[in-house]
Structure 1
Amino acid sequence: MTESTNQHPRILYFANRPIAQTGLQSFVDELRDEFDLVEVQVHASQDSRKFLEAFDAEITSRLKEAACDIIALDLCAFDSRWVSKIILGIADRHRSIPLLTVIPDRLHAATALDAGAVEYVACDNISHSVLRHAFYSAIARNSIGESSRLVESEVRRLIDENIDGMLVVNETGKVLFANRSAEMLLGRSHEELVGSDFGSPSADEDSCEVNIVRERGTEFETLTVEIRYSEIEWAGETAYLETLRDVTDYRQDLDDAVESTRQRDQFLSTLSHELRNPLATMSYASELLKRRMSGLDEQLTFTIETIGRQVQHMKRLLDDLLDISRVWQGKIKLETSPFDMIELLQDITRELDPRFEQKSQTLTVELPATTAPVDGDKSRLRQVFSNLLSNAAKYTPNEGSIHVSAEVAAGTILVQVRDNGDGIADDNLQSIFDPFVQLKHRTHTKESGLGIGLAVVKKLTELHGGSIVASSDGPGRGSTFRLTFPLLDPSQPLEESVAPKPRARRNDYSETVLVVEDLDALRYVTRCNVESLGYDVIEASDGEEALHQIERREPRIAIVDIGLPKLDGWEVAKRVRRSRPPEELFLIALTGYGQKHHLLQSRQSGFDVHLTKPINLEELGRVLDEAAALQTANGEDG
């Protein structure tokens, strides 16, 4: 490696063009008088592994030209997962070079520093002077003690001008040097600090946070200060450079963000329950009407079918909203098993074919005549491809075309969903995977979404060890989504696909079902639907009445809502189970509460099945038939 002949510090920087129009790129020209800034141009691939490989190759090539003092990365356009992956990868590959990052905001600071950055600048607080001081701070940390690079007077100047507080302490914790920023931060003069005992760093840590009480006139204030340690040589002796940064506002912002997240999650949980009840009422009413459509005129038939379609659309929007909440919380858990991806794709395209027929669109499917064994959550991957195909149908005009293909090679399966619809502008190809991003589309559609489906698709794909990339020749020229997943060993046994049997109306069990629901309209339509399935029904509108009906009428199946007055559904189940085991009374929770912890609580309370509103009538019929058959068998055994 040859040394740089430029007298200015040499910085390799990545500005994420053309996405980043602010951040590091906007200050480059202003800083060229003090720094030799060399841009590292790498395509911002959505595959972090490929991005890091390309970035590493470019940096290695630049380092062969001349040494550099720091590497600067503008990561303002990336989410926290990318920030961590990129910093970890670059810091691991080039450990001898300090890494400075420009991050979206101070809430990403912990992620950046933990991953290996020595310095950061928040994009929401960036300026010419802040960036300049950050560069010098990173250079100072790498240069202290290296007499071949900088003389001690220059080191002192770099420390003294740094925007962060900086102390040099010896091994016993005695302060040898303090810069002006440290004096201001600690509220003490240079004379008071030098020679004082500041404490020696812990041998097990390279950073810590402490609360410092600072005197301001007649008042005192408590600051949270982050201290980072670096071992250096000072005046021929071992010493430590301690960098002090006031993170009081950052910690408060973090606490506020945590509380905001808690409130958001609570709101979404409540929203889910409150919306699912009216949604269930409409769904069951439309199901009831559909079962009695025979003989109705064309206008009424169309109206009933429209209600059913719109209810399903609302249900999908609600499911997307809850899924993005789980993505934010990192609570999406996969229930994996080996299965054939080709078979799954065949099933999905068959199921969705009627949707394309409605718009006279042509769906072509090109799948290899082989198996593609993957270890995945079949329902979640069904959600991924259903979302992509539904989007293709939505944003492709009438009589347009959609093409689905798959290729199996080198231990992976590549699935492509291509259409000749609206297309995507270049500067939106990455942002479409961000939550709540909605693009303007040429195709008129009344089925607008929330802009969160693709964010969920990307997360689910990555959780399966896969990747997804979007491409387009531009607006009006269609788009292609390419998804890659790792394959299992072909010898791995696969899950057998069993198609659900259509339910036939059953009248041979003669079972009475207790329906417990506090909303009158929902209770009524639930009763009507259960009766249409061939069962007798009794009702209760609250938890206490439910227990009374169970004691007096002794039903062997009960459908119980959770959010009941007087006693909630979980308490009803607990009290029932004290005297009646599942062999005597089969308990079905039918509720708007559908998160994992709700399912667990239902199981612990004594419910045999937990169903989330609104449930398809066919599915409810199957559950009731299985319960009735089980109760009949138990009665015969008894």
Structure 2
Amino acid sequence: MDLRTQRAFWSPLTRELLEVAPETPITFDLYESRLHPDDLGRDRRAVAECLATGRYQNEYRIPLAGGGWRWIDSRAKLVRDTQGHIVRLFGVVSDITARKEAEEARARSEERLRLILESAKDYAIFTVDARGIVTSWNAGAKNVFGHEEHEILGKDGAVLFTPEDRARGVPEKEIRAARRDGRAHSERWHLRKNGTRFWGSGLMMPLGDGGECHGFLKIMRDWTEARRSKELLERQAEALRQADRRKDEFLATLAHELRNPLAPLRNGLEILRRAGVDEEMAERARAMMERQLGQMVHLIDDLLNVSRISRGKVELRKDRVALAQVLRGAIETVQPLIERQHHELTVESLPEPVFVEADVVRLAQVFANLLGNAAKFTPPGGHIWLTVERRSGEVVVRVKDDGIGIEPEMLPRVFDLFAQVTDAHERSQGGLGIGLSLVKQLVEMHGGAVEASSGGLDMGSEFTVHLPIAASSSRPAEPPALACEAVQGAGHRVLVVDDNRDAALSLADFLELIGCDTRVAHDGFEGLRLAAEFSPELVFLDIGMPTMNGYETARRMRAEPWGEKPVLVALTGWGQEEDKARAREAGFDRHIVKPAAPEVLEALLAELQA
């Protein structure tokens, strides 16, 4: 542009870029009319600056005929004459649309990234340079670590690691691994600003171009709760595995313990079956069979007790009782086993009586279990000590033996359900691993505590029971009622209804031996028919029968004209409290759990006779 004549000259490519026809005269006004309105003011400022400095540079947009805009980079220089007057302006224009679009796209991308980084409140995202100095810090990093951006920028990122990791050079090793492998994953404890620790799970990646690393990006999350949840699940899984192993051991032991009495019972039956057996041998067989049957009943009762206590179905009948009375009952229960093993039992009691608030039967069961264990796990000819000590507000009972002892690692879980002190296959004296669990639960139900100690294998064991002493104002318990004496059946008419033929016929045979007139039915319908014909005074009725169970049979009997007279007894293997309640609702007078002891049956007949 000749500034003296205001004539302008544009090359053909300039006209093309600014979309001006070849024949259109070029003026400064035309030039300004081609600019985007938002860029015009900036261009005029650039022209004014050019008049002062002699140089012009600006970027502006030109509208395109087909829509849209073209970005132009324009540069110019003033030429002066010898007197210093401006005479000419010449310059060049360049199409920079592609570059500007790329810059705008990058700016949009950077803005999106910035928004993402700022919205990632749960993720610490920050960068460090090649030396590990923090160069950027997002809001999530502040939430995770507690450091404000101005507090951490320029600091060594090693401050985020624990002192022990810094001493081992972990921050430097992480940078080297990220540089070498392209990424470095880590899960470890990290430090917050306040000094607390959290379990961080993170990934570090190198930043750079052209193969040159300028720094590193690290993304991290507080994974403490997830780690705790994982550890909890692992502990629960291990506990389930342990429980499963204990269950398998328990089932194997249960099978062993139930088979043990079966062999002598079968032998005893064979002895009694053979002719010519003398009375002494027959009596020995009968006594042995009674012992073995009692052992099987005891095992089943223990299982039921565990189930009831675990479900909160056991209610203690507490009263003020002398502890010596409880201990005497426990010793009497275990005395046959102690004598068979030829053990020496030493009892050290207090000179004066001590009273406790207790259920006599349940507390005696506690000490019978402890004494029984001492007898079973002490080699023949061993020693057992039972000592009683009074302390402030409590009485302490110790059961000690010089038997096989308990391994130290087993002591913390010796009271666990199904816990076995030794390998199940080596436990010839038996036990299901439930006795000590019963002991613990029953003692705690009495407001006490129990603990176990042992010097190790072959060093004996000691179990210590702490019980609160009863207040002196409590009323002493009445002595337990004596069982009814055995009587003869005196011709009582008795109907036995049980789908188990052996159980029904053997019970009928026993009742006939003691003088009863008996009939037998093997299902509910047959029982109803015989009852109508026979008019029994007493009906023993099984519950778990097919077609029509014992509850329904009892209801139908009670609905008959003759149904009010007979005494209905549920004789069944179902012995839970809810089973007894259902029996009462169905019309039963009594509920007896199989197998019924002969003295129980005789006492029931004695009541009928009275």
TM-score tier, shorter chain, comes to: 0.5 to 0.7
Amino acid at match of 1:618: E
The answer to whether the aligner puts 1:419 opposite 2:550 as a matched pair is: no
Counterpart residue number, 1:608? 589
Shift of 1:467: 0.7
CA distance, structure 1, for counterparts of residue 266 and residue 357 of structure 2: 36
Q: Which residue, 565, 586, 592 being the options, matches 2:546?
A: 565
For the 8 Å contact 1:433–1:454, the answer to whether it is kept is yes
Residue-by-residue CA offset, 1:536-556 (whole Å, 9 max, x unaligned) = 211111111111122221112
Counterpart residue number, 1:33? 164
Residue-by-residue CA offset, 1:364-406 (whole Å, 9 max, x unaligned) = 2222243333223222222211111111111112221212122
CA distance, structure 2, for counterparts of residue 429 and residue 420 of structure 1: 16
Shift of 1:465: 1.3
Q: Which residue, 423, 426, 430 being the options, matches 2:412?
A: 430
The answer to whether the aligner puts 1:349 opposite 2:480 as a matched pair is: no
For the 8 Å contact 1:288–1:525, the answer to whether it is kept is no
User: What count of residue pairs does the alignment treat as equivalent?
Assistant: 399
CA distance, structure 2, for counterparts of residue 431 and residue 413 of structure 1: 24
**Pair 1:388–1:293, CA change in 2 (3 A):** farther
**Pair 1:305–1:243, CA change in 2 (3 A):** closer
Counterpart residue number, 2:27? none
CA distance, structure 2, for counterparts of residue 389 and residue 375 of structure 1: 21
Residue-by-residue CA offset, 1:400-424 (whole Å, 9 max, x unaligned) = 1212122233221211111121122
Counterpart residue number, 1:623? 604
Counterpart residue number, 1:339? 321
Counterpart residue number, 2:440? 458
Shift of 1:300: 4.2
Counterpart residue number, 2:180? none
CA distance, structure 2, for counterparts of residue 285 and residue 587 of structure 1: 35
Amino acid at match of 2:419: V
Shift of 1:289: 9.8
Q: Which residue, 287, 290, 293 being the options, matches 1:308?
A: 290
For the 8 Å contact 1:435–1:452, the answer to whether it is kept is yes
Shift of 1:477: 2.3
In percent, how many aligned pairs have the same letter?
32
Unaligned runs of 5+ in 2: 1-160, 168-184, 203-218
CA distance, structure 2, for counterparts of residue 295 and residue 501 of structure 1: 33
Residue-by-residue CA offset, 1:499-539 (whole Å, 9 max, x unaligned) = 5246232344x321111111111111111122233322111
For the 8 Å contact 1:418–1:480, the answer to whether it is kept is yes
Q: Which has the higher contact order (CA 8 A, sep 6+)?
A: 1
**Pair 1:451–1:246, CA change in 2 (3 A):** closer
Amino acid at match of 2:290: G
User: What RMSD in Å do the two structures reach over aligned CA positions?
Assistant: 4.6
Identify the range of structure 1 (402-411 vs 586-595) with the bigger mean alpha-carbon deviation: 402-411
CA distance, structure 2, for counterparts of residue 370 and residue 31 of structure 1: 63
Secondary structure (helix, strand or coil) at the match of 1:433 reads: coil
Amino acid at match of 1:558: V
CA distance, structure 2, for counterparts of residue 370 and residue 545 of structure 1: 61
Q: Which protein has the larger Cα radius of gyration, Structure 1 or Structure 2?
A: 2
Counterpart residue number, 1:551? 532
TM-score, normalising length: structure 2 = 0.56
CA distance, structure 2, for counterparts of residue 398 and residue 589 of structure 1: 43
CA distance, structure 2, for counterparts of residue 326 and residue 608 of structure 1: 23
Counterpart residue number, 1:368? 350
CA distance, structure 1, for counterparts of residue 267 and residue 540 of structure 2: 17
For the 8 Å contact 1:285–1:525, the answer to whether it is kept is no
Residue-by-residue CA offset, 1:60-87 (whole Å, 9 max, x unaligned) = xxxxxxxxxxxxxxxxxxxxxxxxxxxx
Shift of 1:362: 1.6
CA distance, structure 2, for counterparts of residue 294 and residue 371 of structure 1: 54
Q: Which residue, 475, 489, 501 being the options, matches 1:520?
A: 501
Shift of 1:306: 3.0
**Pair 1:369–1:502, CA change in 2 (3 A):** farther
**Pair 1:245–1:378, CA change in 2 (3 A):** same
Unaligned runs of 5+ in 1: 1-29, 37-127, 144-148, 164-178, 186-241, 630-638
Counterpart residue number, 1:574? 555
**Pair 1:373–1:297, CA change in 2 (3 A):** same
Shift of 1:487: 2.0
CA distance, structure 2, for counterparts of residue 32 and residue 329 of structure 1: 50
CA distance, structure 2, for counterparts of residue 447 and residue 458 of structure 1: 21
Q: Which residue, 528, 537, 540 being the options, matches 2:518?
A: 537
- Counting only pairs closer than 5 Å after superposition, residues 479-518 of structure 1 correspond to structure 2 as 479-498=461-480, 500-501=482-483, 503-508=485-490, 510-518=491-499
**Pair 1:244–1:416, CA change in 2 (3 A):** closer
Shift of 1:563: 0.7
Shift of 1:288: 14
**Pair 1:461–1:289, CA change in 2 (3 A):** farther
Amino acid at match of 2:384: I
Amino acid at match of 1:551: A
**Pair 1:129–1:393, CA change in 2 (3 A):** farther
CA distance, structure 2, for counterparts of residue 35 and residue 289 of structure 1: 82
Shift of 1:476: 1.6
Shift of 1:481: 0.8
For the 8 Å contact 1:588–1:610, the answer to whether it is kept is yes
Counterpart residue number, 2:363? 381
Shift of 1:32: 7.6
Amino acid at match of 1:451: G
CA distance, structure 2, for counterparts of residue 491 and residue 505 of structure 1: 41
Secondary structure (helix, strand or coil) at the match of 2:164 reads: coil
For the 8 Å contact 1:432–1:438, the answer to whether it is kept is yes
Amino acid at match of 1:425: E
Shift of 1:287: 11
CA distance, structure 2, for counterparts of residue 623 and residue 35 of structure 1: 83
Shift of 1:337: 3.2
Residue-by-residue CA offset, 1:228-285 (whole Å, 9 max, x unaligned) = xxxxxxxxxxxxxx9899989999x99xx99xx9xxx9xx9xxx9xx99xx99x9999
CA distance, structure 2, for counterparts of residue 498 and residue 394 of structure 1: 29
Amino acid at match of 1:534: G
CA distance, structure 1, for counterparts of residue 348 and residue 199 of structure 2: 66
Counterpart residue number, 2:378? 396
For the 8 Å contact 1:435–1:455, the answer to whether it is kept is yes
Counterpart residue number, 1:27? none
Shift of 1:309: 2.3
CA distance, structure 1, for counterparts of residue 363 and residue 186 of structure 2: 48
**Pair 1:287–1:614, CA change in 2 (3 A):** farther
Shift of 1:360: 1.7
**Pair 1:402–1:606, CA change in 2 (3 A):** same
